[in-house]
Chain A
């Protein structure tokens, strides 16, 4: 017996095959197989502020959503376009400071500052990152790593934009429910929007840029142009997160460039499963509450994320969501070889 070898065979479930075709419309079972995971996510996210106890945890839900935006942005950029951004904090900082300036200097209400900061911030971030877009390799990671560190240093040293004190007295949202549902709505909107986008034609080009950029160039398409679009989109998500964050805390400061905003979304993406877009949201739902519980340990939290990150990337690089999807769609059995 010992010489016999077995291997695991994976087969799609029958319901998956049926649900892919027209049959999906013919029975409730197939319909629910298709829609239930999405409904659980949407209803769950919308119900989250109602079921958590107390104001404090409602605030945590908001923070989860902001990190989820960042994580989706990282996942899109890394796994669909092939650009690893180590500086999510750069996007957060750009969006946050813009929203704070628009609000405190020009007196615009949050419902105006957030969209303006999102678009303008994304444009600025894209401009800053433009030099490294025609290149492949580690350049993008390096430059995105540098910007938050250097910008924080410049603001500190030159005492612009409020210096170390930051910009105080930014308006908050009119009431906490608006605040929560604005960010939750944004997460869901961007999540499903990006999912649709990557399956459209332009998404195909994005993936081609990641997998074989020479082929894209040979097809007469400008790689830098497509990369710039992708960076704009990703930066828009980050800036939106930053702008919301500023209005929630009513303060913009150097901590917007803090390492947390760069490393936690990456950790969430790796844990949740890169390339699935839903995975990062799931990762944030797990990591951010844990990080709130660990708040008293200070920077040990970052050590904690980093170690989880290394562990997952080395031993379980597929992530929770990919694992879950496989279990949902397929069953496996042992077969004799």
Chain B
């Protein structure tokens, strides 16, 4: 039973981490290697507002999300847009920005165990003899809400439909009057906000540490590759696969192997089904 519960929780956490990456890659085909650092950065911004400026928790979360969204948009508008389409430069530029943020935070003294965000609601309850704290329940609920919200957003709003149009065929979208650069900025802002939201939801469960940035990036990418790069449904399904696989290895093998699971998942996917679980239509394009 605890495997089932904690597996679900872990899976939702992975899905939260991966959604932003999947969204940005799906729409603008830019692999955002700065994803993990945005995740950590949002934790630190929230911490700063909460502890240094003493604004309320809800307000600091909202302010953080706005700042993170603006950062994502600026990152796209001033850096990534200039190298778009050049695969080598895209990867290097976004990775370099991510490194600059992470190592800058580390240098700025944001390290060690002293940075923790409070949980939203204290306390825990037992469900079928398994203790679960409310933060994790809230996370699962909000995670499901975010996935549902994203689905509604991309299927029923003008911007969402434009984003999906761009993801499917950018030239056709351009012909229909969708400004692809502006849409990509919007996508990047939303992707960054999703990363920030994931950070705010997940970081109260532990300490805010810089190293988490690299882990989150790797996990997000692992989920996206297993699910098929650019496919959102695949990302959600893959996060459940990897999430349960991780919990199973933690229970039966030990927690050291958690990262190895992600790596193995990537390598197995690349060998067996390179386009991922849901990447069918892109098979010819991505696989040589």
Q: Are the CB atoms of A134 and B107 closer together than 8 Å?
A: no
Is B174's beta carbon under 8 Å from chain A?
Answer: no
Stretch in A20-28, A169-177, A283-291, A300-308 touching the partner: A300-308
Is B205's beta carbon under 8 Å from chain A?
Answer: no
Q: Are the CB atoms of B259 and A137 closer together than 8 Å?
A: no
Is A299's beta carbon under 8 Å from chain B?
Answer: yes
Instruction: State the total of A-B contacts with C-beta under 8 angstroms.
Output: 128
20 inter-chain pairs at a CB distance below 8 angstroms, sorted by A residue, are A82-B88, A132-B267, A132-B270, A135-B270, A135-B287, A137-B87, A146-B218, A149-B218, A153-B256, A153-B259, A154-B259, A217-B288, A223-B288, A267-B96, A297-B107, A300-B103, A310-B79, A310-B93, A314-B79, A317-B83
A150 to B219, CA, bound (A): 11
Q: Are the CB atoms of B82 and A314 closer together than 8 Å?
A: yes
Chain A contact residues: helix, strand, loop or mixed: helix
CB 8 Å contact bits of B81-93 with A (1 = contact, 0 = none)? 0110001110111
Interface residues of B (CB under 8 A from A): 31, 33, 78-79, 82-83, 87-89, 91-93, 95-97, 99-100, 103-104, 106-107, 214, 217-218, 221, 225, 229, 256, 259-260, 262-263, 266-267, 270-271, 274, 286-288
Is A158's beta carbon under 8 Å from chain B?
Answer: yes
Q: Which of B78, B100, B214 is the one whose CB lies under 8 Å from A303?
A: B100
A136 to B285, CA, bound (A): 9
Q: Are the CB atoms of B92 and A270 closer together than 8 Å?
A: yes
A298 to B274, CA, bound (A): 40
Q: Are the CB atoms of B107 and A299 closer together than 8 Å?
A: yes
Please, which residue of chain B has its CB at the minimum distance from the CB of A79?
B88
A157 to chain B, nearest CB (A): 4
Using A135-B286, A310-B79 as known contacts, say yes or no to A84 and B91 having CB atoms under 8 A apart.
yes
Is A138's beta carbon under 8 Å from chain B?
Answer: yes
Is A200's beta carbon under 8 Å from chain B?
Answer: no
Which B residues lie within 8 Å of A138 (CB)? 31, 87, 91, 229
Is A199's beta carbon under 8 Å from chain B?
Answer: no
A292 to chain B, nearest CB (A): 17
